[in-house]
Structure 1
Amino acid sequence: MNASSPLLQRIKLERHAVARNAVIATVTLNRPALRNAFDDIAIVELTGAFRALSEDPQVRVVVLAAQGPAFCAGADLGYMQRMAGFSDAQNRADAMGLATMLNTIYSCSKPVIARVQGDAYAGGMGLVAAADIAIAAEGAQFCLSEARLGLLPATIAPYVIRAIGERAARRYFVSAERFDAAEALRLGLVHQLCPAETLDAVVDTIARAIAANGPQAVVECKQLVREIGGRAIDTDLLFDTAERIARVRGSDEGKAGIASFLGKYSPPWTAGE
């Protein structure tokens, strides 16, 4: 896939080279007139894009961005109208498609940075929570608005609860209150706020910092957090962590990284910068 592909109707996919055989990929929600609300087509495209990027050895990091003033307003009205006529089986299949899309972003082997330039509501907030890193413009607003429509944020719940904690989720799931970027930062939904005019520079700095690291080490680091977080610190965990670092130390990348550090030269994965 690429940005000019006629197969992409709802998103853009761009790749920017940062070193030899190394790129930063950007997936951009591209329905600004509809506040980047998603439908079944967008869900399929996002799922396919993140699966492909996860498996692409050249991709070091993925930026999830959006065109226009809003990041993502959740599901679009036309899509919701069609859903109202779905059978139970159709509703279950459609919901599973959304759940799969969110999990594909969350479990992408490459770090995902959400570039949140504007409002993120409902499923849009799920996209932010599924990313590994979220940087937001100071004017962005957030809302888990599902309860206003007699619905619930079920498919996004695993990621939002992990991001903001159960206590905050209890409030915002049931109240459907809007909250600002400062509150999103306090809750841990986003990692950093910045003026809108510096958002691209901040995201690019973080993406390039990730791309300068050992590519396999970055993949392993992301997996480490996902698999170790929340586990009891017991003998099994000690053996697990020891096995992980021993395996990586003995890998070609680990050996090359240590040699370049001791020899005071650039590691091979930054060649061409």
Structure 2
Amino acid sequence: MDESYVKLRVDKRVGYIEFFHPNRNSMPSDVLALLAKTITEAGSNNDINVIVLKSGGNRTFCAGASFNEVISIENPETGTLFFSGFANVINAIRKCPKLIIGRIQGKTVGGGVGLAAAADYCLATKYASIRLSELSIGIGPFVIEPVVTRKIGLPAMSQMTIDAETFFSAEFAKEKGLYADIFETAEELDEAVESLATKLASYNPEALAEMKTVFWKGTDHWDTLLIERAKISGKLVLSKFTKKTLKRFR
């Protein structure tokens, strides 16, 4: 597993979408674009009633933005385009008529927390701690803020944003409503995910689609909002502070 990918597997009316990147499942533009496209296609696939969003490997669900790509940004347009990648995935999840279950097997950072928050229901292992590290590198979790705040509330979102160098435990994430349940092992997690997904896939797909609309009520303006937020990150990533800080991660 040394090359990045996004793949879709359909089993018993459940669409399993898996993404992978060798650098701790960090997300470069091409993976983000393919993930948004795959989610949209699965949403219109009549053989799929429910979607499971997962990543490859065991230790990290998603390390957020690809630092290698972030370091190479040289103008606001490129910056906006890059951060729009996360906006497009979140909006694809939001507009997808199928319920999406997040399988969070390990640590998740930045944009990865946004992906987990965008899922309609998340199950995780006890190792799935979360961090919003953006302020510590001179930007902020602007694109993912609406979806994270929607899921865990402004106080918890603010706490994580300000305490940018701390990993918050899976228990914290469950207590704040990001995870519905946490498990000791990845095997137990997979059993629970498959059981829930199979059960949901047997329900009335029209009822599921209507519930999805209800869950996301009041977010129609996000197409514009999240791109506006991407512009803020795209500008800040060019600041002297961020350029200097990112050099340490080369």
Q: TM-score per shorter chain, which class?
A: 0.7 to 0.9
- Secondary structure in structure 1 of the residue aligned to 2:8: strand
- Secondary structure in structure 1 of the residue aligned to 2:51: strand
Match of 1:105 in 2: 93
Mapping 1:199-238, distance limit 5 Å: 199-227=189-217
Mapping 1:1-273, distance limit 5 Å: 9-16=4-11, 18=12, 23-31=13-21, 33-68=22-57, 69-83=59-73, 85=74, 87-176=75-164, 177-196=166-185, 197-227=187-217
Alpha-carbon distance, 1:135 to partner: 0.2
1:224 and 1:81 map into 2 onto residues whose CA distance is 39
Greater relative CO, 1 or 2 (CA 8 Å, sep 6+): 2
Percent identical among aligned pairs is 29
- Identify if the C-alpha distance between structure 1 residues 167 and 74 changes in structure 2 by more than 3 Å, giving closer, same or farther: same
Residues 72-121 of structure 1 show CA distances to partners (whole Å, capped at 9, x for unaligned) of: 000122112222x2x12222233223212211112211011110000011
Match of 1:267 in 2: none
Residues 153-197 of structure 1 show CA distances to partners (whole Å, capped at 9, x for unaligned) of: 011111100111011112111111211100100011111111222
Alpha-carbon distance, 1:227 to partner: 2.2
- RMSD, aligned α-carbons: 1.6
Kindly tell me the number of residue pairs found equivalent between the two proteins.
214
Give the letter aligned to residue 127 of structure 2: G
1:147 and 1:160 map into 2 onto residues whose CA distance is 15
Give the letter aligned to residue 71 of structure 2: Q
- Secondary structure in structure 2 of the residue aligned to 1:15: strand
2:181 and 2:86 map into 1 onto residues whose CA distance is 27
Q: Give the gaps of 5 or more residues in structure 1.
A: 1-7, 230-273
1:161 and 1:80 map into 2 onto residues whose CA distance is 24
Residues 190-210 of structure 1 show CA distances to partners (whole Å, capped at 9, x for unaligned) of: 111112220110001110111
Give the letter aligned to residue 137 of structure 1: T
- Secondary structure in structure 1 of the residue aligned to 2:43: helix
TM-score where L is the length of structure 1: 0.75
1:72 and 1:178 map into 2 onto residues whose CA distance is 14
Whether contact under 8 Å (1:10, 1:41) holds in the other structure is no
Alpha-carbon distance, 1:9 to partner: 4.7
Q: Give the gaps of 5 or more residues in structure 2.
A: 220-250
The ranges of structure 1 where at least 4 consecutive aligned residues each deviate by more than 6 angstroms after the TM superposition are none
